[in-house]
Structure 1
C-alpha cells in the first residue's frame, strides 16, 4: 500500500459516514497513524459543506489539542470549545476564531463544537445534531455512548484498538457477558449490535520508525498489522558528547543506535515502588539530556537537541509515578513528564523511559498482563524507548500462564496479554544492557 492510500482511507471513512448504510463508521488507528489528523479532516470537511459538527474527546487535554489543530487547519472556520465552569483552558487556546463558552446556547450556529464526552452528557444538550466525530473511541465506555447517542444522527468513531480498554475501580464482573455491560468500549458495543459494519484502518504509523513499528505491530496488533509510514525522510538520533562508559551511557548508546534498550536489573522481588529501579529510570532520562541527545526527522530536518518536554517516563501505577517524580525533583529535573500508561495514551515524545509493569513482581495479575498497558508504554516514542526491568520476567510469565476463562457471550481479547508480553520481552532481550 502506497502513501496516498492513507488519504484514501480517510476519504472512504468520510464517504461511508455521509452516505453509507450505517449510522456509525469505525476508523481504527495504530499508534501515531494520524488519528487526530483524521478527526480534524473529517470535522473540517463536514463544516466546510455547511454542516454542524460535534467533536467528542475523552479528556480536556485531548479537546484542547483538537481545538488548536482544527483552528490551525481551517482558520476561516469558527471553532467552539464547550467547557465546564471550573475548567480554565490554557492561554495559548485563547486566540481569534476560537470561542470558549460554558453554555451550549452561546455556541449556537458555530460550525464545529468540541468538548469532552462528560460535558456533552450535560442535560442541557437536548437538540440532536447531524454529525459527531468521536476521538479515542476505544477509551469511551459503552454506557457513555448509550447516553451520548442522543446528540448526533451519525458518528465517526476513531481510536486505537490496541490500547487500554475503559477501566473502573469497582468490581464489574457482574456485568461481564451481558449485552448492557457498561465496561465494553463504545466501539465494541456498537460492533456487537451492528455486526455488518466494516471497520476501516489507517495503514501506517507516522510516529514509529521501522525498527519500532515492526515489534509493536507483531506483539500488539497481530491481526491488524501496520507499518511505519514510507517516504518520511531521514530519522535518526545521535549523541554529540562522549559518555563516561557507565552502564547508563551504554543503555542510552544502545537506544540511540537501534531505537531500543532493555536495562536489566538483577532478579529480585521488590516493593512496587522499587527504589533501585526508580533511581535508574530517572537517571536514564536525565543522562539522555546531559548527553545532549539530538534528534532529526521530517519535522526537524536540521536536528534539534532533546528538550525535557520531549522526554517522558511511563509506569503502571500512580505510586511509582510519585516516586519517580520525587527522584527527578531531587536531581533538579522536574520538567520531565512522568505518568501512568492511562494518562500517556495519545501523547507523543522523542524518547520514552519505561518501568516494566512486571519488574520485581511475585505474580502476574490481569492488570499487569493487560496488553494495552505495555502497548501504550512502548509506543509513545519517535526515536528511542528504554525499558527498565528486573531479570526474571520471562520466568514470571511462564509460571503465570494466561488461563482466565472466557465468559459466555464475550469474545476473547486479542492479542492475549501473556503472548503480547512474551513477544515484546523477546524483542527487548535483543537490546539488553545488564546493570550489574
Structure 2
C-alpha cells in the first residue's frame, strides 16, 4: 500500500538534516536548494537562531538591503531577545526606518560596533568592505544562487564555515560587463557563488527543500517539471484546498472568461491575435489592465489553509509581472487610467522572492519578432510563473510557439560550461503546452 505524502513531515525531515549538517557537520559548507515558496527565509531564520543558541558567532550575507531588512524583522519577530546587528552603509537611508523601533537591533555603519553581537546581518557588497576583523565562526549566505562568485570571494575570508541557501531556478547573477573570457573556467567571476563553490568543493553536503508552501496543487507540478526537472518538489496543499471565486458573474468578455478559467484551473492564457508589436504593445497593456480591473470589479475572494472563510482579494495581493521596466511603466499608467491603485507592477528581477494571491503576467515573448537570450532566460519565466498562491493569468499574442521554432538557440558552445537544463527554449515550450489547455482567444 502506498503511503500518502505528508508535506509537513517531508519538510521537517529535510530541515532536520540541513540543521544537523550545519551545526554538527565537518565540512566547511552546506548547500541548500529551495524551490519557490519552500520556506527558504524560514530556514535561514531558524538556522540563525540555532547557531546563535549554540554560541556560534554568526554573520548573515544577503544580496540586497531589502532582503537584509526582511531577515532582521523576521528574526526580531521570532526571537525578540536575540541581539542582532544591522551593518549598513554610511548613507542614513540605507535601511528600513522600522528597524529603529526594535530594541534588540543595533544599527551601525562600523563593523567594530557590532563585533560582540551574536548575529550581524548585511549585504554582500557591504561585507566586502569589512577588513581586519576577527573571523566569524559561521555565515549564512542567503539567495546564494543570485550572488556572483567574485562577491563570495570578497567575503570568504570573514567566516570559517557557511550555510548557502538559494533557489537554483531563479534569475542568474547579473553582470554589467561581458565575461566571455572566463567562460568554462572554475573561477568564472560571473558564475553563481554556488556553482563555483561546488566546482572546487564537490564533496560539500547538498540538500533540497521538497515542498513549496506558496504554489498551489495546480501550479507546483508544472513549475517543478518545467524548471526543476532534477529536483522535483510538491505543493504543500492538495487539490481543492485553495479556492478563488467571484461575487459578480462573468460578462462574457475575454478578461472575465480567462479569470473564470484561472479560478477553476489555477492557470489562464488570454491570447490576443498574432502580430509583431512594439515592446510596450498597447493592446496587450490594456488587456493586462482590464484583467486586473475586472478581478476587483467582480469582488474576487479566496479561501485557503490560512483563512478557510472567504477573504476579499484586495489590490495589494495582486501583482503584474513583465520582462522590461518600460512595459511595467505602461501598465501602471493603464491601471491608473482605470482607477486601480495598490497593485504591484514590476519586472521579474524585482518580483523575485515575493508572493501574491493572483498574478497577471505579460509573456516575455509576446509580439516579438525574435527570441533573444534575454527573453529566453529560464529564470525570468520561472519567476513570473511562480509568484502566486491561487492563480496566474498570462497575457500573450498568438504565435509564440512558432517564434520559438524559428529561433533555436544560437549561443556558442563553450567548453567546460555546465549546460543549464532545462534551457529557456525547452522551458517555454513546456509552459506554453500547459497554458494551451487553458487558452481564451480574445480579439479586443
Residue 231 (structure 1) shift: 6.9
Task: Give the TM-score of the pair, scaled to structure 2.
Answer: 0.94
- Give CA-to-partner distance per residue, 1:77-118, whole Å, 9 cap, x none: 122222223234334333232222222222232211111111
SS of residue in 2 equivalent to 1:211: coil
- 2:96 aligns to what? 90
> Does residue 325 of structure 2 align to residue 318 of structure 1?
yes
C-alpha separation in 2, matches of 1:252 and 1:270: 25
- 1:302 aligns to what? 309
> Does residue 226 of structure 2 align to residue 219 of structure 1?
yes
Task: Give the TM-score of the pair, scaled to structure 1.
Answer: 0.96
Residue 403 (structure 1) shift: 4.3
- 1:283 aligns to what? 290
C-alpha separation in 2, matches of 1:96 and 1:296: 37
Give the stretch that moved more between structures: 84-93 or 248-257.
84-93
SS of residue in 2 equivalent to 1:165: coil
Give the stretch that moved more between structures: 300-309 or 251-260.
300-309
- Give CA-to-partner distance per residue, 1:135-170, whole Å, 9 cap, x none: 110000000000110111111110111111102232
> Does residue 107 of structure 2 align to residue 103 of structure 1?
no
Give ranges in structure 1 of 5+ residues lacking alignment: none
In the alignment of these two chains, the number of paired residues is: 436
Judged with a 3 Å threshold, the aligned counterparts in structure 2 of structure 1 residues 315 and 125 are, in CA distance, closer, same or farther, namely: farther
C-alpha separation in 2, matches of 1:105 and 1:289: 51
Residue 333 (structure 1) shift: 2.3
- Give CA-to-partner distance per residue, 1:2-36, whole Å, 9 cap, x none: 32231221221122123323211101000100101
Judged with a 3 Å threshold, the aligned counterparts in structure 2 of structure 1 residues 252 and 200 are, in CA distance, closer, same or farther, namely: same
Matched-pair contact (CA < 8 Å) for 2:32–2:208: yes
C-alpha separation in 1, matches of 2:355 and 2:132: 33
Give ranges in structure 2 of 5+ residues lacking alignment: none
- 2:375 aligns to what? 368
C-alpha separation in 1, matches of 2:334 and 2:129: 41
- 1:41 aligns to what? 46
SS of residue in 2 equivalent to 1:413: coil
Give the stretch that moved more between structures: 231-240 or 131-140.
231-240
Please list, as runs of the form range in 1=range in 2, the aligned pairs for 1:180-259 lying within 5 A after superposition: 180-230=187-237, 234-259=241-266
Residue 37 (structure 1) shift: 0.7
Matched-pair contact (CA < 8 Å) for 2:10–2:211: no
- 2:141 aligns to what? 134
Q: Over aligned residue pairs, what C-alpha RMSD do you find?
A: 1.7
Matched-pair contact (CA < 8 Å) for 2:289–2:334: yes
Give the stretch that moved more between structures: 388-397 or 406-415.
406-415
